[in-house]
């Protein structure tokens, strides 16, 4: 039985223990802060709060971009620090068995790089499971079911969909049009239409805010002309219009799976629907546009942001032959 499921995402890292549930859900950021004796490592929320505020000599790193490992030594240091913070004390004596997420289209080289970095970081044995299959497990689907099932995962750096039957992927699509690109679109809109420079964090907060209210939102930034601080009121419809082209690109790329969907799978997907996981699933236009493009019902699970990690923690308890990604 595995000890830990780690969903190392572009934006967020979620760690789940099979018994304790989610024990870590924080931004995937590591800061090496210079000190007189060497360096101090800061990780997650604490590290993300320092982005753009670090002194010379500090290093700010994000271990994953667009679902792929950026820098092997950074991933090693990040995972080592993550394990130190999230491991139960009894694990410290041994190397825990982990299941990590990877993109559904990860190449053998990318998979090997991730497994090796994770093992060097202190994990005993590492298995990988593509994020959409992990999300399926995490929201209670049976991977071994003989019916055709489809799960999409739209996160920060990647959007992907896998269609599978009895644990085997039949078809899949992925692209890089996801949450980070939507955030960039919001930043660009504010700069071009309101003359306001926003930080990435402020643009992301505006985008996230627009998914849960119809009330106008306040954006705090720097005036592009004068450089002075300024607050601008932004309508939700404006934010939705700014992200709409990115959503359309993501939906078009994922929807292309219909070209290779076996016709026998159509009744199965009408009955079961397409599950939509990942943080960007929380933006209502993403779900609505995907449903309109596919013609199948699209269902957002109860915990779309953490269901991948929850599935990874469950997957470790299953025999490896039950997990047969393409
Ligand atoms: N309520 C919300 N409305 C809109 N977007 C949201 C909401 N909550 C989170 N997001 C977005 O979801 C993204 C993060 O999702 P998630 O944690 O699934 O990504 P990730 O796993 O880190 O990335 P990836 O899987 O692409 O490597 C961010 O772009 C964030 O802005
Ligand atoms: Mg993810």
Q: How far is the CA of 180 from the centre of ligand 1 (A)?
A: 8
Examine the pLDDT at 319 and tell me if it is beyond 70: no
For residues 222 and 6, what is the distance between their CA atoms, to the nearest angstrom?
37
Q: Which residues contact 170 (CB under 8 A, 6 or more apart)?
A: 148, 163, 164, 260, 261, 262, 265
Q: Output the CA torsion 67→71→72→77 (10° steps).
A: -100
Ligand 1 contact, 86 CB (< 6 A): no
Q: What is the mean pLDDT of the chain?
A: 93
Cα(55) to ligand 1 centroid in Å equals 28
101 lines ligand 1 (CB under 6 A): no
49-71: pLDDT as tens digits? 998 889 999 999 999 987 788 88
Domains annotated for the chain, with CATH where assigned, are 4-134+308-322 (3.30.420.40), 142-177+244-302 (3.30.420.40), 187-238 (3.90.640.10)
Q: Whose CA is nearest to atom 8 of ligand 1?
A: 279
How far is residue 67's CA from residue 69's CA, in Å, rounded to a whole number? 7
Task: Provide DSSP, 202-254.
Answer: HHHHHHHHTTS-SS-EEEEEEETTT--EEEEEE-HHHHHHHHHHHHHHHHHHH
If you average pLDDT over residues 250-271, what whole number do you get?
97
Nearest CA to ligand 1 atom 28: 156
Alpha helices in 13-68 (DSSP H): 45-48
* pLDDT value for 95: 83
By the 10 Å C-beta count (0-12 exposed, 13-18 middle, 19+ buried), 274 is classed as buried
The pLDDT score that the predictor gives to residue 91 is: 56
pLDDT, mean of residues 297-323: 81
Does residue 211 have its Cβ closer than 6 Å to ligand 1? yes
Structure tokens at 4: 């830990």
Among 154, 156, 185, name the best residue to mutate to test ligand 1's pocket (greatest count of ligand atoms within 8 A of Cβ). Answer: 156
pLDDT exceeds cutoff 70 at 92: no
**Closest C-alpha residue for ligand 1 atom 10:** 279
Does residue 130 contact residue 87 with C-beta atoms inside 8 Å?
Answer: no
State in Å, rounded, how far the first CA of the chain is from the last one. 23
Rounded Cα–Cα distance for residues 246 and 183 (Å) = 10
Question: What φ, ψ does residue 261 adopt, rounded to 5°?
Answer: -75, 125
- Cβ of 305 below 6 Å from ligand 1: yes
């Amino acid at each position: 039985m595995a000890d830990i499921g780690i969903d190392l995402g572009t934006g967020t890292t979620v760690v789940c223990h099979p018994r304790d549930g989610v024990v870590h859900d924080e931004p995937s950021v590591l800061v090496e802060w210079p000190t007189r004796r060497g360096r101090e490592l800061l990780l997650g929320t604490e590290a993300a709060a320092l982005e753009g505020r670090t002194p010379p000599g500090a290093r700010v790193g994000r271990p994953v971009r667009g679902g792929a490992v950026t820098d092997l030594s950074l991933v090693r240091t990040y995972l080592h620090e993550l394990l130190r913070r999230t491991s139960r004390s009894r694990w410290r004596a041994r190397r825990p068995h982990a299941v990590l997420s990877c993109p559904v289209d990860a190449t053998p080289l990318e998979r090997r790089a991730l497994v090796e970095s994770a093992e060097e970081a202190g994990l005993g044995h590492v298995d990988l499971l593509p994020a959409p299959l992990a999300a399926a497990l995490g929201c209670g689907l049976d991977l071994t079911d003989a019916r055709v099932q489809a799960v999409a995962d739209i996160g920060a750096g990647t959007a992907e969909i896998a269609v599978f039957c009895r644990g085997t992927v039949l078809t899949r699509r992925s692209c890089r049009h996801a949450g980070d690109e939507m955030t960039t679109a919001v930043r660009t809109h504010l700069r071009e239409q309101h003359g306001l420079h926003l930080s990435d964090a402020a643009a992301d907060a505006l985008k996230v805010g627009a998914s849960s209210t119809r009330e106008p939102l306040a954006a705090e930034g720097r005036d592009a002309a004068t450089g002075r601080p300024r607050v601008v009121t932004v309508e939700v419809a404006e934010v939705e219009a700014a992200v709409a082209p990115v959503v359309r690109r993501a939906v078009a790329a994922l929807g292309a799976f219909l070209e290779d969907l076996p016709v026998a799978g159509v009744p199965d997907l009408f009955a079961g629907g397409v599950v939509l996981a990942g943080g960007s699933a929380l933006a209502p236009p993403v779900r609505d546009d995907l449903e309109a493009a596919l013609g199948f019902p699209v269902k957002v699970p109860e915990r779309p942001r953490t269901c991948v990690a929850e599935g990874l923690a469950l997957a470790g308890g299953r025999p490896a032959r039950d997990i047969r990604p393409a």
